[in-house]
């Protein structure tokens, strides 16, 4: 750690082990990004991301990279919520997630919530590349401020590509200094928890679920490919998770 903040990258590589399971030849964490393999199920390997330090703090540059090979199945979660906090170092913190899933691979990316604490500045970028019959379940949940606290500044971008073609590319900025209207009726409408679920399945290329509302502040939208997007708003993290879990049960 320096006055410029922490620089750390965690790397995961999952490959088919030739015996019907999934091996993890690369499982390498740094600094605040510790990785632990936990008991899997069937062919699936499971990894838990454990925060070894507070953060991300101002000036930090953190990244997580995961690669899933043909025939491998990987599920990644986190042990607790990630809390963006102001730090001694000035400037914005960055948290980059890069996911690569080969033809025939499957990834479930299901971290806990990201909480934007008051006074923090964080830019999150998630980029996913899939090929062929790759499968994906990706959940993002963001909570603006802790209880009784105004949020920090949070900018989040999610890009999903299939065989080089963009399925989704969207960005949202919230909190102090964000473009006007982020908390208005056309965007968050006063809610403090927002989330999305991206599900990519080869069978959606033949028959994709129809667009429809999922309650008052959630909706399912088919994407231009074998994928659907669920977006949701809620007053708190618990109710947001309930909406996304119900949608995931229905889709998978």
Provide the whole-model pTM: 0.93
Q: Is 48 helix (H, G, I), strand (E, B) or coil?
A: strand
d(CA 82, CA 79): 9
Per-residue pLDDT 10s for the chain (252 aa) are: 445 788 999 999 999 999 999 999 999 998 889 999 999 888 999 999 997 566 788 889 999 999 999 999 999 999 999 999 987 767 899 999 999 999 999 999 999 999 999 999 999 999 999 999 999 999 999 999 888 788 899 999 999 999 999 999 999 999 888 877 788 787 787 889 999 999 999 999 999 999 999 988 999 999 999 999 999 999 999 999 999 999 999 998
Tell me the CA distances in angstroms from 239 to 158, 188, 235, one per residue in order: 22, 15, 7
Q: Which two tokens stand for residue 15?
A: 């490959």
Residue-wise pLDDT tens digits, 60-99: 999 999 999 999 999 999 999 999 998 776 789 999 999 9
Nearest to 228 by CA among 244, 214, 245, 208: 208
d(CA 49, CA 251): 25
Expressed in percent and rounded to 5, the helix, strand and coil fractions of the chain are 10, 55, 40
Nearest to 129 by CA among 110, 114, 109: 109
């Amino acid at each position: 750690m320096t006055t410029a903040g922490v620089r750390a990258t965690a790397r995961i590589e999952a490959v088919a082990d030739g015996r019907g399971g999934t091996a993890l030849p690369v499982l390498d964490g740094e600094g605040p990004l510790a990785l632990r393999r936990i008991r899997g199920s069937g062919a699936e390997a499971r990894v838990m991301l454990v925060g070894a330090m507070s953060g991300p703090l101002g000036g930090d540059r953190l990244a997580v990279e995961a690669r899933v090979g043909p025939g491998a199945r990987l599920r990644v979660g986190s042990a607790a919520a990630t809390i963006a906090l102001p730090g001694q170092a000035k400037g914005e913190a960055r948290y980059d997630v890069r996911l690569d899933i080969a033809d025939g691979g499957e990834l479930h990316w299901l971290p806990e919530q990201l909480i934007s604490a008051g006074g923090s500045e964080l830019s999150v970028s998630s980029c996913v590349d899939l090929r062929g019959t790759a499968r994906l379940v990706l959940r993002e949940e963001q909570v603006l401020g802790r209880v009784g606290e105004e949020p920090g500044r949070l900018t989040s971008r999610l890009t999903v590509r299939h065989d080089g073609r963009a399925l989704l590319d969207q960005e949202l900025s919230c909190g102090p200094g964000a473009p006007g209207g982020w908390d208005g009726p056309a965007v968050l409408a006063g809610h403090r928890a927002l989330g999305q679920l991206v599900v990519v399945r080869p069978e959606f290329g033949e028959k994709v679920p129809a667009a429809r509302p999922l309650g008052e502040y959630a909706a399912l939208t088919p994407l231009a490919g074998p994928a659907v997007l669920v977006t949701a708003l809620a007053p708190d993290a618990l109710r947001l998770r309930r909406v996304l879990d119900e949608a995931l049960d229905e889709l998978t």
